[in-house]
Amino acid sequence: MVHIDKTIYGYFLPQSWIHHKSYSGYLWYATIHMLLPFYFWGAYLVVCRIRANKQFQGFMENSGLKSPLGKFPALIKNVPVNEECRKLVIKKNGIPLEAFREKKGWIESNMEISIEAMSDRVHDGCLEIVYSNIPLTKSIKLLSEIDSIPAGKILIGKSRAKTIYADFKDYPHFLVAGSTGSGKSTFLRNLIFTLIYKEKDIKFKIIDLKGGLEFQNLFHDIDNVRVISSMSIACAALMHLSEDINYRIEYLKNEKLTDISEYFKKFSLEERKTKDLKLAYREVIVIDEAAELYLSSQNPKEESIKTSKAMLNRIARLGRAVGIHIVLATQRPDVSALDPQVKANLSGVVCFRAGNVASSMVIIGNKRASEISAEIPGRAVWKTDNDLLEVQTPFISTDEIYKKLTDARIIQPRKDEAMNDQI
Ligand SMILES: Nc1ncnc2c1ncn2[C@@H]1O[C@H](COP(=O)(O)OP(=O)(O)OP(=O)(O)O)[C@@H](O)[C@H]1O
Ligand SMILES: [Mg+2]
């Protein structure tokens, strides 16, 4: 019948099985043998899990995340979400979600992960953390993405898990901060280009007091754009827009509408133009290096500049509902270079590499931006009221913009004098 080679199996099989040449014993033996890899795999998983739990426990003990009863959060599972991300499911043990959010930066740097999302799981109150530890892409071409950008939105950048778009409805005003050469002007260029290229109902006033010709050369002959490079014209433009706020508020009141988005939904651009040209467009004020505007006002004689600061403040507070928005870039978002009230209203923050921890703290409230490598231009932290994500922002060259906007250019470039009249 079944021949069992004693020399090979004798070590493992009970002698009685071999002597009696037991068939069922052999089957048992074979089954156990076949299942051995699974047992080992199971044991390996258990060991991994014990180690992961221990390591997680250690992180939590060091993080200071502890319930009033002295309990630490406990790891329940760590599962893949997609090719780039995994999800931790954590038993909170009475610690609120907010406490985890506050420790997000700490968890990321100590566990060497990048957290994409944190949320409470509704059915059992556990915490879910979606994270990734694979590197972010180092460059994104805006032109490859331009067609997939949803209407009215701009592309902020790509995180490990998602592509981030934003619009003026969700983030009425933006702050673009970071040290020199980190990517601020490039980001402004992206934003302006995307909206000129894809939208018809936005007008821009670009205030560039650094004396550079970058914006001037690229956009000066685009119909809906005014590039302003002198302080006095900048002041006049801000005052004009601030007055526009009153006009728009009154107009919307008479129309029995609460904000400009309703008005835009109700009437097309053409209809709006015939009704009242003053409310046909959203107005976006882009300021590259706001400190140029703010620090000049330290000269007490410059009354008009003080006024323009006040106007900017007013637009930041009231512009949202009436469709007047600010996109402000600065190297120095501290009190001397940026009005705290204005800063408080800039709800979408793109923070490129910060020169030091203190600057990063001022801009985003933690040190993440100071840890961005200088080797990766365009790398930034995107901060909103409830999110903080590392992203790679897109890039478009000036040549590409020039070529793409050919159709939008007006035939006769405006003269500076004419520009002033139109403000
Ligand atoms: N998203 C990006 N992808 C790739 N390269 C980028 C990106 N953003 C910026 N760069 C590169 O970094 C350089 C500096 O960018 P940029 O001029 O926008 O910096 P900045 O923050 O405005 O500097 P400054 O404060 O001196 O004006 C650019 O010339 C460009 O080559
Ligand atoms: Mg710049």
pLDDT of 281 = 95
For position 222, which CATH number holds?
A: 3.40.50.300
Residue 332's pLDDT band (cuts 50, 70, 90): confident
Q: Do 257 and 395 reside in the same domain of the chain?
A: yes
pLDDT of 241 = 92
| 44 part of a folded domain | no
Q: Do 183 and 124 reside in the same domain of the chain?
A: no
Q: Do 90 and 174 reside in the same domain of the chain?
A: no
| 328 part of a folded domain | yes
Residue 230 clears pLDDT 90, i.e. is over it: no
To which residue do tokens 């053409």 refer?
Answer: 270
- Asked whether 157 lines ligand 1 (CB < 6 A), one says no
Q: CA torsion angle for 244, 247, 251, 256 (degrees, to 10)?
A: 90
Q: Do 103 and 154 reside in the same domain of the chain?
A: no
Rounded CA-CA distance 72/91 in Å is 9
Quick check: helix, strand or coil at residue 409?
Answer: strand
Q: Atom 31 (ligand 1): residue with closest C-alpha?
A: 377
Phi, psi values for residue 129, rounded to 5°: -120, 115
Q: Do 341 and 215 reside in the same domain of the chain?
A: yes
- Asked whether 186 lines ligand 1 (CB < 6 A), one says yes
pLDDT of 421 = 47
Q: Do 194 and 341 reside in the same domain of the chain?
A: yes
Residue 192 clears pLDDT 90, i.e. is over it: yes
Position in ligand 1 atom list of the atom nearest CA 157: 1
pLDDT of 303 = 73
Q: What would the pLDDT profile of 164-174 be if each residue is shown by its tens digit? A: 999 999 999 99
Amino acid residing at 196: I
Neighbours of ion ligand 2 (CB under 5 A): 184-185
Rounded CA-CA distance 124/99 in Å is 18
pLDDT of 417 = 44
| 369 part of a folded domain | yes
Q: Atom 9 (ligand 1): residue with closest C-alpha?
A: 183
Q: Do 147 and 106 reside in the same domain of the chain?
A: no
| 395 part of a folded domain | yes
Q: What is the mean pLDDT of the segment spanning 91-116?
A: 85
Q: What would the pLDDT profile of 138-149 be if each residue is shown by its tens digit? A: 899 999 999 999
How many distinct structural domains can be found in the chain?
A: 2
Higher-confidence residue of 157 and 389: namely: 157
| 417 part of a folded domain | yes
Q: Do 253 and 110 reside in the same domain of the chain?
A: no
Nearest to 288, CA basis, from 219, 228, 351: 228
pLDDT of 1 = 47
Residue 388's pLDDT band (cuts 50, 70, 90): confident
pLDDT of 90 = 93
With a pLDDT cut of 70, the percent of the chain lying above it is 89
- Asked whether 356 lines ligand 1 (CB < 6 A), one says no
pLDDT of 423 = 52
Q: What is the mean pLDDT of the segment spanning 30-39?
A: 86
**Structural domain that includes position 116:** 64-132
Last residue of a domain, one of 77, 98, 132: 132
pLDDT of 396 = 96
The CA 15 to ligand 2 mean position distance, Å, reads: 84
Q: What is the mean pLDDT of the segment spanning 368-395?
A: 89
Q: Do 184 and 269 reside in the same domain of the chain?
A: yes
Outline where DSSP puts E strands in 147-288: 154-158, 163-166, 174-177, 202-208, 225-228, 282-288
Phi, psi values for residue 42, rounded to 5°: -60, -45
114 is written with which tokens? 């990048």
Q: Do 123 and 150 reside in the same domain of the chain?
A: no
Q: Do 280 and 410 reside in the same domain of the chain?
A: yes
All residues at 6 or more sequence positions from 42 whose CB lies less than 8 Å from its CB, including other chains: none
400 is written with which tokens? 């590409």
| 329 part of a folded domain | yes
pLDDT of 11 = 58
Residue 412 clears pLDDT 70, i.e. is over it: no
Last residue of a domain, one of 86, 105, 132: 132
| 40 part of a folded domain | no
User: What residues form DSSP beta bridges with 225?
Assistant: 204
Answer yes or no: are the C-beta atoms of 216 and 416 closer than 8 Å: no
| 397 part of a folded domain | yes
pLDDT of 335 = 78
Q: What would the pLDDT profile of 312-324 be if each residue is shown by its tens digit? A: 999 999 999 999 9
Residue 3's pLDDT band (cuts 50, 70, 90): low
Q: What is the mean pLDDT of the segment spanning 123-141?
A: 88
Q: Do 413 and 296 reside in the same domain of the chain?
A: yes
Rounded CA-CA distance 415/384 in Å is 40
Mutate to test the pocket of ligand 1, among 186, 286, 331, 352 (most ligand atoms within 8 A of CB): 186
Quick check: helix, strand or coil at residue 394?
Answer: strand
Residue 195 clears pLDDT 80, i.e. is over it: yes
To which residue do tokens 């994104």 refer?
Answer: 140
Q: What is the mean pLDDT of the segment spanning 177-186?
A: 94
Residue 341 clears pLDDT 50, i.e. is over it: yes
Last residue of a domain, one of 108, 132, 156: 132
